[in-house]
Amino acid sequence: MVYNLIIIALTALFLIRQFKYSFIKGASWTLFLLILVPQYTGIRITDTIPLFPAHRFYLLLLFYFCLINQSRISLDKKLKVLIVLLLLTNLASLMLSTYKAPAFKGYLSLLIENMLVFIVVSSSIYRIEDIRHATRLIYNSLIIITIFCIIENSFGIKLLHVLPAYQNLYLEQKANYVTFPHPILLGTALAIGLVLSVLFMVRSYNIKRNIYVGWINIFLFGVGLYFSFSRGPWLAGMIGLSIMYLFAGFGSKKIIILLMMIPLAVFQINPGVQGTVADYYEKTMQIDSLEGSSFIYRFELLYIAIEQISMDIIRTCFGYGLDYHNNRTFYGEYKSIPGKMSYFRSWDNEFAALLLETGVVGLFIILLFYFRIIFLGIRNYRQSIEKHRANITAYIAGTIIVIFMMTNVKMFSYQLLFLFYAMSAFSINYGRIGENGPMGTNETLVNVTSTVFGGRR
């Protein structure tokens, strides 16, 4: 515990120094640490007192400096209404829950790790350069994570063993998840990193050294995605690249066309990689295989959730409370495969879990919230000038990647939630604030092509 306390204290002092220099510098470095630091790292005083995670120390600093630096909440009015409704409906679910302790913990997480982070990040942005500065640091954190992923899987070591009292429940399993609690969640983050790598290269077209670095990073993220050994992140990465190809401009098209040739070359050099990918695809198409049944299983969870909330009109509307899925195991028959019985316990579908936890009302409001974010991002894209569209497209793609992956797994990784809400905040603010900042400020920006994502603030 002493070692963890020293590490947290040193990083907190570093953040305080950055906040005093510039609020956006402090906020950007906070996002860097929130995504990089393992979820289960923290301080545990005794076995009877729950672990206090490191990321909440960092969030306390972020919220504190936001309060003393920000004079107003700069957020779309309809998003404000949806956030209030979301908190109220989840509060109703909490009051109706039979498992008050986990429901309260889930509600606290919704408030702190979700809504407050989204509001603070959105309100912290005053210039386009602010977003570029934060993006650089987020991108760097993802590069570090994918390097750790490759090292662990290539050499069979777990780098997190060097952290004393690291509380990851999955550490003793065979697979290596680096700083994330599940390989699918890790793969989702790396899929976003792949999209940001394309953005890196689009913004570096006139800097030869950065082009080489960009291709190296793309290769690293591709290898990291492969090592997640999960079909969902692979597909999410392809969806993100498709969005970049269609909407990020001509520069991204050239990069992605060249990128498509890399897997073909790898398949020729190492046929084992091609065999692994082909094997996953074939098994996915066979409903009697583990991979095929797990694909169907994720959609079967929706049927189970509907059955459970249909027992009572109150539960239909508001569900059983957040984190309720962690306290129940269901056994039943597949609706799409008559006669096939199974236990339904992991809730590998965020939307099914939300339906069970918050009911029809809660699920409907959160879907409206997500759709509103995407709508605002698309509106900013359409209203922006050409040179800004690649950035907005990348942020929208990152947001869509996470929402797509919600059909594959419940988002129980705080790191991925922080990444999701950062991408969401960037997408809805990038076009809105314009070149010279909001409300007629006179701050100017350096040329967007002078560095990867803009000049240093």
pLDDT tens-digit readout, 59-86: 999 999 988 886 566 788 899 999 999 9
d(CA 261, CA 281): 20
Q: Is the pLDDT of residue 121 over 70?
A: yes
So what's the pLDDT on residue 197?
92
So what's the pLDDT on residue 454?
41
- In this predicted structure, which of 131-135, 160-164, 311-315 has the lowest mean pLDDT? 160-164
- In this predicted structure, which of 105-114, 252-261, 335-344, 406-415 has the lowest mean pLDDT? 335-344
So what's the pLDDT on residue 139?
95
So what's the pLDDT on residue 7?
81
For the segment 352-358, the average pLDDT, to the nearest whole number, is 88
So what's the pLDDT on residue 97?
85
Q: Is the pLDDT of residue 438 over 70?
A: no
Q: How confident is the model at residue 174 (pLDDT cuts 50, 70, 90)?
A: very low
For the segment 46-59, the average pLDDT, to the nearest whole number, is 76
Distances (CA, A) of 111 to 101, 119, 322, 328, 345: 15, 10, 12, 24, 26
Average pLDDT, the chain: 79
So what's the pLDDT on residue 375?
94
Q: How confident is the model at residue 295 (pLDDT cuts 50, 70, 90)?
A: low
d(CA 193, CA 125): 21
Q: Which of 187, 230, 152, 240 is nearest to 423 (CA)?
A: 240
Q: Is the pLDDT of residue 439 over 50?
A: no
Helix axes 128-155, 414-433, angle to 10 degrees: 150
Q: How confident is the model at residue 42 (pLDDT cuts 50, 70, 90)?
A: confident
So what's the pLDDT on residue 192?
95
User: Among all chains, which residue has been given the structure tokens 């797990």?
Assistant: 294
Which helix (H) or strand (E) element contains residue 333? strand 330-333
For the segment 365-388, the average pLDDT, to the nearest whole number, is 92
Q: How many CB atoms sit inside 10 A of residue 133's CB?
A: 22
